Structure 1
Amino acid sequence: MLKQLKRAARGAGVPHEKGTAALATEKMPVPSKVVLPMRQHIGAPCAPVVKKGDTVMVGTLVGEAQGFVSANIYSSVSGTVTAVDSVRLSSGADCPAVVIQPDGEQTVDPAVKAPVVTDKASFIAAVQACGLVGLGGAGFPTAVKLSPKTPVDTLVINGAECEPYLTADAREFLENSETVMSGIQAVMKYLEIKSCIIAIERNKPECIDLMCSLAKGVEGVSVKPLKTRYPQGAEKILIESATGREVPQGGLPCDAGVIVLNVTTVSTIGKYLATGMPLVTKRLTVDGDAVAAPKNVEVLIGTPIQEVFAFCGLKEGVELGKVIMGGPMMGVAVATMDEPVLKQNNGLLAFTAQKAAMPAPQPCIRCGRCIEGCPMGLAPVQIAGAFTRKDTEELDKLCVDLCMLCGTCSYVCPAKRPVTQTMSLAKDFAAKEAKK
């Protein structure tokens, strides 16, 4: 399987839909309320540390991490806690949430101060205190990622942003290049990493040129332009493209001597070290054929999606078909516009019913395009058969656990079958059976 990776890192040539790439970020006003679910990361959900009636400020801790694989949650507004209740997320899971009524003053908590960092331990503690998670969409706590169990010699900055529509990371390069560089240098210094590769797809030439100029003369830092091909930004694919190394099956990037950080994640480290302001805002790309004025928007975390679209405007007289958190390939369709913006959200896409309509799936014609397109060299047709038979041994042989649910197989399928959904079910089934 590992040898297949180099032969099969193919993916798909998705449309170059980057209409907001040249649009500077606009700051959204304070919303009518913020809703802060206690699960905005991979790992243990936070425990609420405030109650109804409490007064909070910007940067006040409202959700405390429960264990190392977790991430603190802070208030993005000043105001009053109106409820500590349960909300339902797009995943279908119910989660405790803190609801805050803003006072409009945006008073900053006096506890917000730049951290004192002198060594690796205090650096990791600072990143953990920031509440930082992977801002490319995965939501893995960054402090955990920066605490590898095996030696690491290379830092890879993920600036691929390979999904259509999304341009928030490109704007981070262009608008916050100084904190991108300061974050990189801090990670390299305190983790004693000698080499950093800033990986950017070639469809972002202005980002490549800017970072090349800034990296010039900085020891160990280089920029690597990458082929524009989805899913170039997937962690294992990115590592191979940027370094030539392969992550072992079932392994982590650190097993290949690499740490991967999204560009906005590493930039946030730079900002936090300078200001002490925890993660309370997020840049989103708001786009789609139902959006009146697509924008890149800086949003307070917890803002209801409805208010984000009200700020950008939805076209009049069109039937709204689907709203997606994230990109069109790996994003999640939202059930209600009342859902809030989370830390790991990087885009909100609204499509008309006509654009969102999918043709009825047809029988599989065994064309093999899903196999040819799979960036991990998997065989979705065979995996689907093994899943239908509930053959766990065959699913294991077919390495279903390597599937990253990138959506390439569904995208390239001429029969428009729900291949990715089947892969997800098969992967989940195999994982549950393995635990028995």
Structure 2
Amino acid sequence: MIKVFNIHGGVHPAENKHQSTGEAIGTIPLPSEIILPLNQHIGAPAQAIVSVGQTVLKGEKIADAEGVFSATVHASTSGTVAAIEDRPIPHTSGMKAPCIVITPDNTDTWATLSPCENFDELEHHVLVSKIREAGIAGMGGAGFPTAVKLNPRADNKIDTLILNGTECEPYITADDMLMRERASDIIAGAQLLAILLDNPATLLIGIEDNKPEAIAAMRKAATGTKITIVVFPTKYPSGGEKQLIEILTGKQVPSGGIPAQIGIVVQNVGTAVAAYRAVRFGEPLISRVTTVVGESLQSQRNIDVLLGTPVEHILEAHGWQQEQCPRLIIGGPMMGFTLLAPRAPVIKTTNCILAPSLSEMPSQPPAQPCIRCGMCEQACPASLLPQQLFWYAQSENFDQLREHNLFDCIECGACSFVCPSNIPLVQYYRASKSEIKNLDAEKANSDRARLRFEARQARMAQADAEKEAKRVARKAAAEKAKKMQAQKAAAGEVPKDIVSEAVATAKTSAQEIDPAKESAKLERAVSSAESRVARAEKSIAEAISEGTDNARIESLQARLKQAQQKAAEAKVKLDTFTQQQTSVDKSAKTIANKMAASPRAQLEKTITTLEKRITTAQEKIIEAKTNHSPTLGALEQGVTKLTEKLAANQKELSALIENTPPDTSADSRAATDAVPAKNAASAAIERAKAKAAAQAAMSPEEKIREQLKSLEARVAKATLKLQKAEEENDEHIDAFRSALEKLKIKLAATHAAIKEGTV
């Protein structure tokens, strides 16, 4: 015999349960449309995985859970997805939310299910996965995802499982009729939940003593099991989770805590049945038992109704006389809420549709000032101070509301029920809770923004400090070098050339970043990423061969995809680095070769190249004229520029030859006389060859200066030409811009060659 305990407070409202228990659980015809909200539970809404126009089968998953605190949604009948849009849902605010609308095909064709006869042989994670995939959520309260409750933290050892069959709210008899007609399924569900919780020592099913038929059916079904049926006196709200725990065990859940912290898990009897059918028969949660009651209805009973059925359709099937019904209530008269839109659908937590007449449930009298009688405190089952909470809620003193444990309030309505001043206390508490949650969310967002700002400020300050430290170091190094130069000059030593110093500095800097080391580092990254890919592929193969569940395989496949992506990124980095090094080395080598030649040799080579380019361009012009090509104008413009460039280089070469002292040796004169003069440019070239000795004697540093000076002059000249073209809106502006970019690249490559120490 289990000892039962009493709870603080509680009230005894009129039960009104006989109206809906005269008939067995029934059904109603299919509606013209099924409306399935994506959020029928506490937590994140599910994400639709179907599209408009798609055909779905009964029991087919149409929305996937988004995160841990979420639940999947399944089609409750076969048909076509007509819309995915915002529709009214059963909510205290009358809000709209995303819903999947299905037009039934009236065949009620099931999808393929996966039954399991010996579920006690399955591993824990497989059972939890089946319940999660079935979309099971608490069917007697706020819709907490069942799979989460069945996965308590490792440090919360569960020693007691309680099934809640109390159903203390007036009018509601859904659990009562479920226990009468499906007691064996409830017991099977309790045994399944016990397996998932590692077989706790104590299994209890709590039922109030006003349900004799249900008690008898449950005791008969529990015969031969370790499950104990505990009957206790009727009092509202003994069906609250924390209140039921105290009644059956004498333990109290700490303020702000959860039952698992004291080793207890509580599930509704309807949730136990849904979990059992999900594992044993593979059925997702697509229907539930709901009480349809109220004097404005011609018939009152409990029905097994498909989720997504509009409330209006249910009422019409029970002879609803709308003119006699001042309001509709989802839930009971104590904790329920007014339904503003009758087109809203039944969801997983809809245990009652109450359609009272005006005489059955008259309008609430106007609230009067509080007389401080203290009756609300005596009725509160959570041992709170409702009067103080009311004052603090009125004054929006949220700090005091927290201090007085506002969030321990279960919103049972017992305080409002006994209030002689008719003050709607629960409404004040709900509004204050909502406001506090909003403020907490805003504060959390503000804190995250502040942390991001502070982190950014710290990064900027660090970067500025590093820049300043580098600047100070460069200044100190420059002053030190200047001092050393002065000391050497005073000692009679010749200071090094500035260009030589720059070359030496570039060589030192180049040594700091070793291309070989960087390449080896990138190659190691590629090898490591490929190893991870191989390990992931091996894990998937082993999981498939061992018959691991789909959830585990999907997780491994996601890990493989991530490893493949990282391997691809590592290969791209390595290829890019290799190409860059090849390009830099090639450019630097080319520039070094050019700079090693004398200015005269460079000019001669440039003139030869320009002559070849002009010949090629003229051939293209002839071809363009023949084919009437639109590029003819651009080709002619290019030839003109090449001709100008050739003339400029020939002029520069002539000037260089004239300024070079002549070689009067006999061999030189003989060689000059032996060369035939083809034209003025050829003669100038031949004369320049005879006078190249002085130019060849230039030092490498002098060659660097000349090359840099020439390139900088050409960049300046090209910049002026581009500016002029932009001012005149020249049609060949793109050609000017391209020429300038090429010169800049060449100049940058020259600097790179100097830095690498190849010149």
The answer to whether 1:113 aligns with 2:119 is no
Residue 264 of structure 1 aligns to a residue whose secondary structure is helix
Which deviations, in whole Å up to 9, do the C-alpha atoms of 1:362-410 show, x marking residues without a partner? 1211111111101011111111222233333322221112111111111
The answer to whether 1:320 aligns with 2:325 is yes
* Range with bigger deviation, 54-63 or 206-215: 206-215
Of 340, 351, 354, which residue of structure 1 is paired with 2:356? Answer: 351
Aligned partner of 2:10 in structure 1 is: 11
Aligned partner of 2:224 in structure 1 is: 217
The answer to whether 1:294 aligns with 2:293 is no
The answer to whether 1:197 aligns with 2:207 is no
Q: TM-score, normalising length from structure 2?
A: 0.55
Tell me if the contact between 1:8 and 1:374 (Cα under 8 Å) persists in the aligned partners: no
Higher relative contact order (CA 8 A, sep 6+): 1
Tell me if the contact between 2:13 and 2:170 (Cα under 8 Å) persists in the aligned partners: yes
Aligned partner of 1:137 in structure 2 is: 141
Residue 360 and residue 261 in structure 1: after superposition, are their counterparts in 2 closer, same or farther (change >3 A)? same
Aligned partner of 1:39 in structure 2 is: 39
Which deviations, in whole Å up to 9, do the C-alpha atoms of 1:203-258 show, x marking residues without a partner? 00121122222223212x10111220111110000111111111111100101211
- Kindly state the Cα deviation for residue 8 of structure 1 after the two structures are TM-superposed: 5.7
Structure (1 or 2) with the greater strand fraction: 1
Identify unmatched segments of 5+ residues in structure 1.
Answer: 1-5
Equivalent-residue separation in structure 1 for 2:328 and 2:258 (angstroms):
32
Residue 337 of structure 1 aligns to a residue whose secondary structure is coil
Aligned partner of 2:309 in structure 1 is: 303
Residue 371 of structure 1 aligns to a residue whose secondary structure is helix
Residue 355 of structure 2 aligns to a residue whose secondary structure is strand
Aligned partner of 1:96 in structure 2 is: 98
Residue 396 of structure 1 aligns to a residue whose secondary structure is helix
Aligned partner of 1:337 in structure 2 is: 342
The answer to whether 1:235 aligns with 2:241 is yes
Tell me if the contact between 2:33 and 2:104 (Cα under 8 Å) persists in the aligned partners: yes
Aligned amino acid, residue 147 of structure 1: N
* Range with bigger deviation, 228-237 or 88-97: 88-97
Residue 383 of structure 1 aligns to a residue whose secondary structure is helix
Residue 8 and residue 170 in structure 1: after superposition, are their counterparts in 2 closer, same or farther (change >3 A)? closer
Aligned amino acid, residue 342 of structure 1: I
Equivalent-residue separation in structure 1 for 2:330 and 2:395 (angstroms):
33
Equivalent-residue separation in structure 2 for 1:82 and 1:100 (angstroms):
5
Tell me if the contact between 1:376 and 1:403 (Cα under 8 Å) persists in the aligned partners: yes
Tell me if the contact between 2:137 and 2:143 (Cα under 8 Å) persists in the aligned partners: yes
Tell me if the contact between 1:380 and 1:423 (Cα under 8 Å) persists in the aligned partners: no
The answer to whether 1:56 aligns with 2:56 is yes
Aligned partner of 2:547 in structure 1 is: none
Residue 82 of structure 2 aligns to a residue whose secondary structure is strand
Aligned amino acid, residue 94 of structure 1: K
Equivalent-residue separation in structure 1 for 2:202 and 2:162 (angstroms):
9
Tell me if the contact between 1:173 and 1:207 (Cα under 8 Å) persists in the aligned partners: yes
Equivalent-residue separation in structure 1 for 2:204 and 2:7 (angstroms):
23
Tell me if the contact between 2:166 and 2:238 (Cα under 8 Å) persists in the aligned partners: yes
Tell me if the contact between 1:44 and 1:69 (Cα under 8 Å) persists in the aligned partners: yes
Of 360, 365, 369, which residue of structure 1 is paired with 2:375? Answer: 369
Residue 97 of structure 1 aligns to a residue whose secondary structure is strand
Aligned partner of 1:3 in structure 2 is: none
Equivalent-residue separation in structure 2 for 1:351 and 1:68 (angstroms):
39
- Kindly state the Cα deviation for residue 298 of structure 1 after the two structures are TM-superposed: 1.1
Aligned amino acid, residue 12 of structure 2: G
Equivalent-residue separation in structure 1 for 2:96 and 2:321 (angstroms):
32
Aligned partner of 2:514 in structure 1 is: none
Of 170, 182, 188, which residue of structure 1 is paired with 2:188? Answer: 182
Aligned partner of 2:289 in structure 1 is: 283
Which deviations, in whole Å up to 9, do the C-alpha atoms of 1:141-182 show, x marking residues without a partner? 100111111111110000000011110101111111111111
* Range with bigger deviation, 156-165 or 182-191: 182-191
Tell me if the contact between 1:395 and 1:430 (Cα under 8 Å) persists in the aligned partners: no
Tell me if the contact between 2:10 and 2:414 (Cα under 8 Å) persists in the aligned partners: yes
- Kindly state the Cα deviation for residue 100 of structure 1 after the two structures are TM-superposed: 0.5
Residue 327 of structure 2 aligns to a residue whose secondary structure is strand
* Range with bigger deviation, 417-426 or 89-98: 89-98
Equivalent-residue separation in structure 1 for 2:304 and 2:245 (angstroms):
29
Residue 228 of structure 1 aligns to a residue whose secondary structure is coil
Tell me if the contact between 1:160 and 1:199 (Cα under 8 Å) persists in the aligned partners: yes
Equivalent-residue separation in structure 1 for 2:134 and 2:302 (angstroms):
23
Aligned partner of 1:125 in structure 2 is: 129
- Kindly state the Cα deviation for residue 268 of structure 1 after the two structures are TM-superposed: 1.3
Structure (1 or 2) with the greater helix fraction: 2
RMSD value over aligned CA atoms? 1.6
Aligned partner of 1:406 in structure 2 is: 412
Of 380, 384, 391, which residue of structure 1 is paired with 2:386? Answer: 380
Residue 245 of structure 1 aligns to a residue whose secondary structure is coil
* Range with bigger deviation, 241-250 or 113-122: 113-122
Tell me if the contact between 1:45 and 1:70 (Cα under 8 Å) persists in the aligned partners: yes
Identify unmatched segments of 5+ residues in structure 2.
Answer: 444-759
Tell me if the contact between 1:137 and 1:326 (Cα under 8 Å) persists in the aligned partners: no
* Range with bigger deviation, 119-128 or 83-92: 83-92
Identity %: 35
Equivalent-residue separation in structure 2 for 1:197 and 1:259 (angstroms):
11
Equivalent-residue separation in structure 1 for 2:169 and 2:209 (angstroms):
14
Equivalent-residue separation in structure 2 for 1:389 and 1:174 (angstroms):
48
